[in-house]
């Protein structure tokens, strides 16, 4: 589904992605973690080309991103992206936030798009908020609407860039619950997060990054109980809630 082959990226002289090789299969849930500045956000943003790569090969949903003939807008419609800062459109109501792209790009009628949006809103528990504006919602609610906005395009891949980092602690759970539900439904997901409980429960693999390179790539049990590199050990020790230690022998 997603294939990085020797991918490199520089911001001027800063080598943010250093020879990345990574594969994500259909239906897989991948959690990317690592210290800030390790390139994990940049990595996830290259998948829908919010950041173009400088070197190497990146294939997403069968399309080569460095190929000029790839229609990037068409590809992005197949990839949902959830931001740390939600980025809902403040001038549009919740329902319009969700239905804008399906109406403009999928050719859905307003009625069909709204019907579909209401199904999704019901699933994330926000059906009664359909006509409210984003500023009237809590952070957790905004993020659930943002996830719904992504799902409304019926994407084949969902990307999450630190979806809970801007939330108050008591709102993190409601967003993670939606993501867990999504993971169980078989969605291909790449999630940049520090929520190790989430990683442990739903991830198929954890990718640990530092200084632009992938240092470790392992199933969560293996990564949390038996990290191979000192850098990963150090990182895991510094996390405030070491849930990963709970069931290690």
Contacts to another protein by CB under 8 A = 48, 50, 73-74, 76-81, 83, 85, 87-91, 100-101, 104-105, 135, 146, 149-150, 153
Tokens 């989430």 correspond to 198
Q: How far is the CB of 73 from another protein (least distance, A)?
A: 5
Which stretches within the chain are classed as H helix? 40-47, 72-76, 94-105, 110-123, 139-151, 169-184, 196-202, 220-225, 230-238
Give the nearer residue to another protein in terms of CB position, either 76 or 205: 76
- Least distance CB 197 / another protein (angstroms): 27
Residue nearer to another protein on the CB measure, 153 or 239: 153
Smallest gap from Cβ 218 to another protein, in A, equals 29
Shortest distance, position 248 Cβ to another protein, whole Å: 37
For tokens 């990683």, the residue is 199
Cβ-based nearer residue to another protein, 81 or 208: 81
d(CA 97, CA 151): 12
Minimum CB distance to another protein smaller for 33 or for 79: 79
Q: Which is nearer to another protein, 30 or 77 (CB)?
A: 77
What's the closest the beta carbon of residue 221 comes to another protein, in angstroms? 33
Structural contact between residues 16 and 212, judged by C-beta atoms closer than 8 angstroms: yes
Distances (CA, A) of 149 to 45, 57, 79, 82, 93: 18, 29, 11, 9, 12
Give which of 47, 5, 229 is closest to 237, Cα–Cα: 229
| Nearest distance, CB of residue 210 and another protein, angstroms | 25
What's the CA gap between 196 and 227, in Å, rounded? Answer: 14
The distance from CA 18 to its chain's CA centroid, rounded to whole angstroms, is 21
Question: Smaller CB distance to another protein: residue 149 or 194?
Answer: 149
């Amino acid at each position: 589904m997603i294939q990085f082959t020797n991918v490199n990226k520089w911001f001027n002289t800063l080598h943010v992605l250093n020879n990345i090789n990574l594969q994500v299969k259909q239906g897989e849930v991948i959690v990317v973690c690592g210290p800030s500045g390790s390139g994990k956000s940049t990595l996830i943003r290259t998948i829908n080309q919010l950041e173009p790569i400088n070197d190497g090969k990146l294939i997403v949903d069968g399309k080569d991103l460095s190929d000029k003939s790839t229609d990037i807008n068409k590809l992005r419609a197949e990839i949902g992206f959830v931001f740390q800062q939600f980025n809902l459109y403040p001038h549009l109501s919740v329902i319009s936030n969700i239905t804008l792209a399906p109406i403009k790009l999928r050719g859905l009628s307003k009625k069909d798009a709204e019907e579909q949006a209401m199904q999704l809103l019901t699933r994330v528990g926000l059906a009664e908020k359909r006509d409210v504006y984003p500023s009237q919602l809590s952070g957790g609610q905004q993020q659930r609407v943002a996830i719904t906005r992504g799902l409304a395009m019926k994407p084949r891949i969902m990307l999450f860039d630190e979806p809970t980092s801007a939330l108050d602690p008591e709102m993190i759970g409601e967003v993670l619950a939606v993501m867990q539900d999504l993971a169980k439904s078989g969605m291909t997901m790449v999630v940049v997060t520090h929520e190790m409980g989430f990683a442990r429960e739903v991830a198929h693999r954890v990718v640990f990054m530092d200084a632009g390179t992938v240092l470790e790539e392992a199933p969560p049990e293996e990564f949390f109980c038996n990290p191979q590199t000192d850098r990963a050990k150090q990182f895991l020790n510094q996390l405030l809630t070491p849930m990963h230690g709970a069931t290690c022998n």
